[in-house]
Chain A
């Protein structure tokens, strides 16, 4: 019973972090139709900036917000100075479908090299603001801790704010229209280039939050070589695919789903399958329901 509770709570916590990364991937996909591999590096860079902010303000939550703004700024910068020009130059021909992917992989390399140049290769530590010692139920101590609870609450809050932006504001309407039907949006007067940049900025913010919260799900240590960060992108990508790649709601559900699956594999089958489980989920989804588990109609790409 305790083990089941532990498994579910751990799964939801990691799933919440995957959900943020999945949202970041979906936001870029929706606005530009590119899978941005550089997002792994972007999250890491934003986490380092959060780490620097923490040294100055000494408040974790303000540092988190700083990291999100930094992530948004870097992501928007990449879209304006790099992706926009690249996509214009490679819009046709045999290279059109692979060029953006290779380019974002290259960007990932550049970002990681820059991080190592600036911060070195050793571990940095962001001390979690709350304890990672688990709650107690009677004589049992759970793995689920105040910090993990805070992670879930933070993600829920961010998802809520994002959905408010998308559903209730004019900017959200412009973002959705541009994602679903860019040509009609332009004809209606929406400045789609600007909206695309905004989509990238929101994506950068979401990825930054995922990065910082990820460190606090562990002991707070991270480095440019952290396996967790590489896995974060992969998990986020798989969660996004599970959710249909086009839907923010799908990204959140996909993230939680993936978090639960990996937690159950870890706790009930074998720890050594932990790294394989996400890929098995990905393959199963691609074989059985390539449009994702959320019933988004396949086909519409306009």
Chain B
């Protein structure tokens, strides 16, 4: 299974948000999508998870057509999206946020197993199960958002700026956790990030978006070495 995006174009009313974007992510790989604010990164993810409608092009996860159907049906096909800005329900407790991700699952035994795994991955959440999500620190909320997505037993995980608003040390930790999830669970991840260096360091491949178009793409290591990318996105 792989994620294949071809000539994807998305409009917000009269404004073209992304234009003819194409890339492929092989199964079990982590692909970073980097670019400046307004480059269309979030729109790309939101279209893949069914929140936004595409104007043209195609996007498939294996056999599954991502441009067809609602987010709630994509989740059932193994596609989980952690939207921008710590995607947790602030008014619910930590445990309720986790359970929310598995509500649709019929097999409650498997869901309980997912919960156990998630809490092993994020032991801090286990200590705070009864607390409301808005009492967590920024890093913990991001862990909870990722944990909620993992509760849906995804095989394709779409992460929108997990580093947003976090302290450098916490960002480092979150990035290492994401890399760990990819390796241990054989997950495929699309990681949208403004923190280009941090994302490229843990990614296998990367796509650079500029004003809604693919500026360049390739292996993460090659892009880090590319002088043009360094100058434009890494700042040195």
A residues adjacent to B (C-beta < 8 A)? 170, 173-174, 176-177, 180-181, 183-192, 300
CB of B89 within 8 A of CB of A187, answer no
CB of B103 within 8 A of CB of A188, answer yes
The smallest C-beta distance from A301 to any residue of chain B, in angstroms, reads 12
CB of B103 within 8 A of CB of A189, answer yes
Cα A186 to Cα B103 in complex, Å, equals: 11
CB of A188 within 8 A of CB of B152, answer yes
Map CB proximity to A onto B141-161 as digits: 1 under 8 Å, 0 otherwise.
Answer: 000000011011000000000
Q: Tell me the nearest residue of chain A to B152, going by C-beta.
A: A189
Q: Which residues of A contact B4 (CB under 8 A)?
A: none
**A192-B72 contact in complex given A185-B89, A187-B81, C-beta closer than 8 Å:** yes
Which of B88, B90, B91 gathers most chain A CB within 10 Å?
B91
CB of B91 within 8 A of CB of A176, answer yes
Map CB proximity to A onto B71-114 as digits: 1 under 8 Å, 0 otherwise.
Answer: 11001100011110001111110001001110110000000000
Q: Tell me the nearest residue of chain A to B96, going by C-beta.
A: A173
Cα A128 to Cα B92 in complex, Å, equals: 41
CB of B100 within 8 A of CB of A185, answer yes
Q: Tell me the nearest residue of chain B to A194, going by C-beta.
A: B72
Q: Which residues of B contact A191 (CB under 8 A)?
A: 72, 104
The smallest C-beta distance from A13 to any residue of chain B, in angstroms, reads 32
Contact of B75 among A170, A189, A300 (CB under 8 A): A189
Cα A173 to Cα B101 in complex, Å, equals: 11
Which of A174, A183, A186 gathers most chain B CB within 10 Å?
A186
Q: Which residues of B contact A187 (CB under 8 A)?
A: 49, 51, 71, 75, 80-83, 87, 149
Which of A180, A187, A300 gathers most chain B CB within 10 Å?
A187
CB of B103 within 8 A of CB of A184, answer no
B residues adjacent to A (C-beta < 8 A)? 49, 51, 70-72, 75-76, 80-83, 87-92, 96, 99-101, 103-104, 148-149, 151-152
CB of B99 within 8 A of CB of A173, answer yes
Cα A173 to Cα B100 in complex, Å, equals: 7
CB of B103 within 8 A of CB of A173, answer yes
Cα A174 to Cα B72 in complex, Å, equals: 12
CB of B90 within 8 A of CB of A180, answer yes
The smallest C-beta distance from B83 to any residue of chain A, in angstroms, reads 6
**A183-B83 contact in complex given A176-B92, A189-B152, C-beta closer than 8 Å:** yes
CB of B100 within 8 A of CB of A177, answer yes
Contact of A186 among B72, B96, B148 (CB under 8 A): B72
CB of A190 within 8 A of CB of B91, answer no
The smallest C-beta distance from A194 to any residue of chain B, in angstroms, reads 9
Contact of A184 among B70, B88, B99, B104 (CB under 8 A): B88
**A186-B70 contact in complex given A173-B100, A177-B92, C-beta closer than 8 Å:** yes
CB of A188 within 8 A of CB of B101, answer yes
For the complex of A and B, the 4 pairs showing the least CB-CB separation, nearest first, are A189-B75, A189-B104, A186-B71, A188-B100
Cα A191 to Cα B51 in complex, Å, equals: 13
CB of A189 within 8 A of CB of B90, answer no
The smallest C-beta distance from A262 to any residue of chain B, in angstroms, reads 31
27 sample A-B contacts, Cβ–Cβ < 8 Å, listed by A number: A176-B89, A176-B91, A176-B96, A177-B100, A180-B91, A180-B92, A183-B83, A184-B83, A184-B87, A185-B89, A186-B72, A187-B51, A187-B80, A187-B82, A187-B87, A187-B149, A188-B75, A188-B100, A188-B103, A188-B148, A189-B72, A189-B104, A190-B100, A190-B104, A191-B72, A191-B104, A300-B91
Extra inter-chain contacts (8) besides given A181-B89, A187-B80, CB under 8 Å: A184-B83, A185-B100, A186-B70, A186-B71, A187-B82, A188-B151, A190-B72, A190-B103
Q: Which residues of B contact A189 (CB under 8 A)?
A: 72, 75-76, 101, 103-104, 152
Q: Tell me the nearest residue of chain A to B81, going by C-beta.
A: A187
Cα A180 to Cα B80 in complex, Å, equals: 20
The smallest C-beta distance from B60 to any residue of chain A, in angstroms, reads 20
Q: Which residues of B contact A173 (CB under 8 A)?
A: 92, 96, 99-100, 103
Q: Tell me the nearest residue of chain A to B104, going by C-beta.
A: A189
The smallest C-beta distance from A298 to any residue of chain B, in angstroms, reads 14
Q: Which residues of B contact A176 (CB under 8 A)?
A: 89, 91-92, 96
Q: Which residues of A contact B70 (CB under 8 A)?
A: 186
Cα A192 to Cα B83 in complex, Å, equals: 17
Contact of A177 among B76, B89, B149, B152 (CB under 8 A): B89
Cα A187 to Cα B89 in complex, Å, equals: 11
Q: Which residues of A contact B72 (CB under 8 A)?
A: 186, 189-192
